[in-house]
Chain A
């Protein structure tokens, strides 16, 4: 991009175009084609074939979408992911802000606390799932501590509790990252505001509500959006924790079903339709969340 005559056309800082070019090229080279391809697949009777194989892949309009929308397993998975989000997102916001606020204060053993909250985030799910399975099975440690209060059937094989258990697992697993986001944001809340609040006689709780919460608003938007998006793409946890979405599909997520249909069973067209619907759904939810949680300052 050359400066000069283009400046007026290209906006106030044309150099911005140069700054984003590598990123845009990356997105185009790596994502745009597969994504466009997925949309294309979802409107055709499509399957993957070897190079050179002669196959017929007629355009079928919305047929794959009809298949998907009338499939009870898919419907169930979308309900499941909503259950997941309703538990996971608020819990994540409240816990990570609370913990970040506590960790931001001068407190004994701060380093130890920070490290301990981040450890699950740093570790692969493949690695920790084994321990969770052990803790939450019917004879596991959690149930032996609960004694008679333990649910029957146990957590992960209980069709009402499987999804909430996964939601809590994921909250636990991801919390460290969100705490990190809030901690970074807390550094930018001006100390003067706290001093002013103290002058007005506000207690610790009051100043948390009136200074901290509005002060980290952009971070909250970020946390809500990121938590929603990662939650909607839930895959590894039901795949590993409940052996493919059990019991009876109660913990199947849309991405899991997409994986089963698209890759395992060789119907990438149907899988792609699930994916496209999911993407649209998440975009809608994200838009609504941005409305409610707060507009950004630009």
Chain B
């Protein structure tokens, strides 16, 4: 047990150190590339890098935009993705194989290949430039999440479903009453996975919205990083402060919800 603990501790250090360094660097008035720069020095600490960001970006507005963008995607994935994942795992119907293969194919296709045709389609055919819908649409249902949902629905014992069907329950109520509660950790995994994409996505929301009051945080920040930061008193610190601002909401949300991700006594219901 001791060995395991020490190994985990060491691993955690490797995983956290760059973030620690990011934080320290963002608080420095002068960049300090030496080894001792990894430790906070009282004389060299300042919040200046953050106030500069606050001056040039509407943080509140950007956060709201990020929230709408990300929230829309999560909602779409949870509603439609769970339905699709359940059907692909547990229901026999015509065309299932085709949909499954299509889902796999979509994941294999690099987004860069589709960017411009997709842009033309959404802007010209659907007329969704400068709107939240245009931003959300290509991400609306996350295929990897559908795949994950399917995988976990597959792991549930078949007897559970057979029993419910014999009792005459509809598929929708089986899904809602039985399957979903059992795979709740998987659902949260899906949410996390879905959250990351739109939260950190830069290019798409930028292409689709030129109006600054529609742009999410990742877009305003990378704008800031490419231009404004070079003028800052401490460019390296400004970049790191920008990184911290982008990471902070995601990490905070994760820490709040992490308790719900895995609750170990779930398996009792599954044992069959």
Contacts and interface: CB of A to CB of B under 8 A. Distances in A.
A61 interface: no
Contacts of B144: 226
A35 B109 contact: yes
Contact of B35 (A144, A180, A190, A219): A144
Contacts of A198: none
Nearest to B98: A24
Interface in A106-163: 107-108, 111-128, 130-132, 134-135, 139, 141, 144
Nearest to B175: A19
B140 to A, nearest CB: 6
B15 A119 contact: yes
Interface stretch (B40-48, B54-62, B245-253): B245-253
B93 A297 contact: no
B118 A30 contact: yes
Contact of A122 (B4, B108, B155, B250): B250
Interface stretch (A8-16, A66-74, A85-93, A241-249): A8-16
A279 B109 contact: yes
A74 B137 CA distance: 32
Interface in B230-263: 236, 239-240, 242-244, 246-247, 250-251, 254-255, 258-259, 261-262
B114 A123 contact: no
B227 interface: no
B171 interface: yes
Given A122-B250, A124-B218, A180-B189, A112 B83 contact: no
B168 to A, nearest CB: 14
Contacts of A117: 11-12, 15
B50 interface: no
Interface in B163-202: 170-172, 185-186, 189, 192-193, 196, 199-200, 202
A211 interface: no
A175 B184 CA distance: 21
Contacts of B251: 119, 122-123
Nearest to A125: B200
Interface string B192-225: 1100100110100000000000000010011001
A262 interface: yes
Nearest to A118: B254
A23 B138 contact: no
Nearest to A233: B110
Interface in A1-50: 9-17, 19-20, 22-24, 26-27, 29-31, 33-35, 37-38, 48
A130 B147 contact: no
A135 B38 CA distance: 11
Most buried by B among A11, A34, A135, A255: A34
A209 interface: no
Nearest to B201: A124
B262 A187 contact: yes
A235 interface: yes
A131 B25 contact: yes
B19 interface: yes
Contact of B222 (A26, A126, A191): A126
Interface of A: 9-17, 19-20, 22-24, 26-27, 29-31, 33-35, 37-38, 48, 51, 99, 102-105, 107-108, 111-128, 130-132, 134-135, 139, 141, 144, 172, 175, 177, 180-181, 183-185, 187-192, 218-219, 222, 226, 229, 232-233, 235, 255, 258-259, 262-263, 268, 271-272, 275, 278-279, 282-283, 286, 296-298
Sorted from nearest, which 7 A-B pairs have the closest CB atoms? A16-B91, A127-B243, A16-B93, A124-B200, A19-B87, A275-B113, A34-B117
Interface of B: 1, 4-5, 7-8, 11-12, 14-16, 18-19, 21-22, 25, 33, 35, 38, 79-81, 83-84, 86-89, 91-96, 99, 102-118, 121-122, 124, 137-138, 140-141, 143-144, 146-148, 151-152, 154-155, 170-172, 185-186, 189, 192-193, 196, 199-200, 202, 218, 221-222, 225, 236, 239-240, 242-244, 246-247, 250-251, 254-255, 258-259, 261-262, 264, 266-267, 270-271
10 contacts: A20-B96, A23-B81, A33-B121, A120-B19, A126-B218, A127-B242, A177-B192, A181-B189, A275-B113, A282-B108
